[in-house]
Amino acid sequence: MRHVCHTSRRRALRAGAVIVTIGLVAAACGGDDDTSEPAAADEPAEAPTDEPADDMADEPADDMADEPADDMADEPATDGAAGGIDLAALEAEVAAAAAVPSFEPQGPAFSVADLAGKKIFSMPVASSLTGCDNMAQWVVGIAKSIGMEDSFYFQNDGGPAAWQEGMEQAINGDYDGVALVCGIDPNAITPQMEAARDAGIPVVDMHLADVSVPADPLVAGQTNGEFNRAMRMGVYQALIDSGGEPIDVFMITANENPPSVGMEQTVRDTLAELCPDCTFESQNVPIPDWFGGAGQSTIDAALVANPDLDAVFMSYDFTAPVVEGSIKANGSDAKMYTFGGDYPVVATMVNDDTAFGTDMGPDFLWMAYSGADQLFRAMVGEPVIPADEAFAPYRLWNPENAAENTGEPGAGFGDAFLQGYYDLWLDNTASEPFVP
């Protein structure tokens, strides 16, 4: 934890080390710059370490960023507590996020009688991603349960070429609806999307962006996620963990994925709002580079540059094993805060020596149901649910509740959503909800 009275001295002592280390990180990451303010061409570059969060908050996000404005309005007040932070309000928000979500219909009930005998085509962003692959298959299972027996799951290796092939198969196969699962960018397959629209085939993109982002005009409907809220809850917990004292934060992003841009901006903005004396530093590591070794060198360099880091934020929790290993190897007390909620990662939180603070994410079965609901509405001509309202709720996982996530579909999220959706789908032929 950083004490404000020593901030200037600590920065001066670290400056030389930071200049060298950040240069090594940039080289290891293939030239991906950190998100510090760039120096003018004729001016010497400044070390990017420990910029106050309020200064960084004025930087504009990427045009594709998932803007965190959707729920910044309910930020707890910064008065009446340690360091001006209302810790009780933060604790209440975190406790609510860590509770089992309740099912609330996001749209009115409607008849699915006309869907019997039709068929959908379901394609994951990449079949190698287990959660997304399961979700794509579960959407097909849900469709079959209400009478769309010839619905089809398309296995693929990911990437625009594979997605184009899938869309062409869906169009040529006269499918009645298409599910793009786990955020396939429709703009990467624009000709096929336009051809599907011309053929009268509704396409719904599932878990595409943050709830603050409107639906893409290329799709008939869209379901989104609470990406930015996951980061905001992480900041809340980090400040709770520090007792309201200012903290040093490092974040690893993957900003080729639009949700990551919004998540980074959310961390910046929340720190600026609640803790102007906190510092924030980030480094972008594209996912392919991460698995090529850049992830390890990035977190190692950050911990060497600042041995007093309090919090490491990551856009995606698949990075957690490498980050946690580095934290422990470097003898750091830093905690991790991330998005994902994937079972293999959450399961490590029960370990006594875990470096985890929080990991917040959705349940893939609930996402399959919310996505199927949106697709069914589009297929029968019902108004689709607005993108800022169409999402499966996230749950915040921490060492206290992680044991509730057993890895089974729906584990830790209850089962009310199963019957809840079937009650919305009037005149369906299912005797009971689909469960994988």
Phi, psi of 54 (to 5 degrees): -70, -30
Alpha helices in 251-363 (DSSP H): 258-274, 287-289, 295-305, 320-329, 343-346
CATH of domain 110-226+362-426: 3.40.50.2300
Q: What pTM was estimated for this model as a whole?
A: 0.81
Pairing status of strand 335-339 against strand 356-361 = parallel
Q: How confident is the model at residue 31 (pLDDT cuts 50, 70, 90)?
A: very low
What is the per-residue pLDDT for 147? Answer: 97
Percentage of residues of the chain with pLDDT beyond 70: 81
pLDDT of residue 254: 93
DSSP E strands: which ranges in 309-384? 311-314, 335-339, 356-361
Q: Contact 142/153 with Cβ under 8 angstroms? A: no
Cα 23 to Cα 138: distance, rounded to the nearest angstrom = 46
Q: What is the CA radius of gyration of the chain?
A: 22
Q: Which of 51-65, 71-85, 222-236, 418-432 has the lowest mean pLDDT?
A: 51-65
**Sequence spans of domains, the chain:** 4-100+228-360, 110-226+362-426
Q: What is the mean pLDDT of the chain?
A: 85
C-alpha dist (Å) from residue 91 to 85, 239, 315, 360, 390: 11, 10, 22, 15, 27
Indicate if 110-226+362-426 has the same CATH topology as 4-100+228-360. Answer: yes
Whole-number pLDDT of residue 291: 84
Cβ atoms of residues 222 and 390 within 8 Å: yes
Give the closest residue to 155 by CA, choosing from 186, 174, 194, 181: 181
Assigned CATH topology for domain 4-100+228-360: Rossmann fold (3.40.50)
C-alpha dihedral, 154 to 126 to 262 to 338, nearest 10°: 120
Residue 122 parent element (H or E)? strand 120-124
- Residues ≥6 apart with Cβ < 8 Å to 260: 253, 254, 315, 316
